[in-house]
Amino acid sequence: MPPDVTERALLRNRYFDELTATPDLAWMGQNTNHIPAHPAVRAAMIEAVERGEFNAYAPPLGFEALRAAIVADLGVEGAEALVTEGGVNALALVCRARCKPGTRFVTTDPSWKWPLMFARQAGAEVVEIPIYDPAVNYKLTPAALAAAVDDRTAVIYLVDPNNPLGIRYTAEEIAAFARIARDCGALLVHDCTYRDFAEGHHPALLEAPEHAVVSLSFSKWLGLAGMRIGALVTPRALFGEFAAQATSVLGASVIAQRAALAGLSVKQEWMAEARRIDGANKALIRDAAAAIGLTCPVWPSHGNFLVLETGAAGLRPEALVEAARRRGIMIRQGTYHTERFGDRFIKISTSVPTEWAERLRDAFPAIAAEARTLNDVAPQF
């Protein structure tokens, strides 16, 4: 491996290590949920620890009760759930199963970067359809997708709600994408990481029960990012293909699975409060950002985050991120998501304690003022 690749990997790790070591850091850049956990979820984790459940491996596909609860929560009767170590592992195994040299992986720009990396690692050509455009309401259109696919297309990857834009697709749009995937012989991969923050979300398995899969995460809605737990939900006929690609052959974290199952049991109550806090934070941050010249191109956002455009204020996203970091606030630059459009925006996560949102609001003027003075900014990831 070239030395520069090694050094960049080490630099990236040190960057996040320094963030995790920052006292009282406000994590507002990774869409993680920092609202204090539901008592039932905390109790489930503590009980599992006290019983020493971490001494044994979990079932390789996940606890049967959790697998059933995931399918029921998604509303896709007859499907099968494979519990994974985070949603990212679910997407990695899909890419291992379907991507190879000579195939194409079609997605949007912006999208979530890691599945694109997995597809390229497997030898697939990645096709990114630009959607950062008010003319298409910041969405992938069926016409644009149809024009981009061909018989080499192995995977159509759709993040819905989109990270970072926060748009959400309708049932009619999902049905149109499913028809296009069927006609070109592709697998429709519906990344539903943020579905619980959206109104009217419609899983692709309802429209494509034979050629779609859904990836899920407990990081964002339930606040279990550090526990590493997610799932891939597939048609029963395809389950074996993807289970054969799983790397969690000894099961995902027992403690995380107990927390996830407890979370699903109180989900309606939990999400009502989480969405109330998240919604209030979005409005507060949008208004505070407007006061320093930042604009919000997508409102409402159906994810637990906001995109804020910086161009009208004459501010560089990277400079804003660094100025915020110096004040103990982690936000994210657009280039994390997209090289093509990344110089236009920052992204701010909103499923956080109200005090964090107020802290950012109060610091915004000073952050903007210092950002104007920053020319050389250290690498950000």
Q: Estimate the share of the chain in helix, then strand, then coil, as percent rounded to the nearest 5.
A: 45, 15, 40
Residue 248: predicted pLDDT: 86
Amino acid at 268: Q
Residue 295: predicted pLDDT: 98
User: In a structure prediction context, what are the per-residue pLDDT tens digits for the chain, which is 381 residues long?
Assistant: 677 999 999 999 999 999 999 999 999 999 999 999 999 999 999 999 999 999 999 999 999 999 999 999 999 999 999 999 999 999 999 999 999 999 999 999 999 999 999 999 999 999 999 999 999 999 999 999 999 999 999 999 999 999 999 999 999 999 999 999 999 999 999 999 999 999 999 999 999 999 999 999 999 999 999 999 999 999 999 999 999 999 989 999 999 999 999 999 999 999 999 999 999 999 999 999 999 999 999 999 999 999 999 999 999 999 999 999 999 999 999 999 999 999 999 999 999 999 999 999 999 999 999 999 999 999 999
Of 196, 178, 173, nearest in space to 73 by CA:
196
Give the number of other Cβ atoms within 10 Å of residue 235's Cβ.
Answer: 17
Residue 3: predicted pLDDT: 72
Which of the 8 DSSP states describes residue 83?
A: E
The Cα angle at residue 369 between residues 365 and 371, in degrees rounded to 5: 115
Question: What is each CA distance from 367 to 333, 352, 359, in whole angstroms?
Answer: 14, 19, 11
Strands in 332-333's sheet, in edge-to-edge order, are: 305-309, 345-349, 332-333
Q: Which residue has the tokens 């956080």?
A: 352
Express each pLDDT in 323-363 by its tens digit.
Answer: 999 999 999 999 999 999 999 999 999 999 999 999 999 99
d(CA 116, CA 144): 19
Of 379, 337, 380, nearest in space to 117 by CA:
337
Question: What is each CA distance from 91 to 118, 150, 189, 192, in whole angstroms?
Answer: 8, 22, 8, 11
Cβ–Cβ under 8 Å, residues 65 and 260: no
Helices and strands of the chain, counted as H and E runs: 12, 12
Residue 1: predicted pLDDT: 61
d(CA 339, CA 140): 18
Amino acid at 306: L
Handedness of CA 291, 292, 293, 296 (dihedral sign): negative
φ/ψ of 158, rounded to 5, equals: -125, 115
Q: Token digits for 268?
A: 């309606």
Cβ–Cβ under 8 Å, residues 80 and 228: no
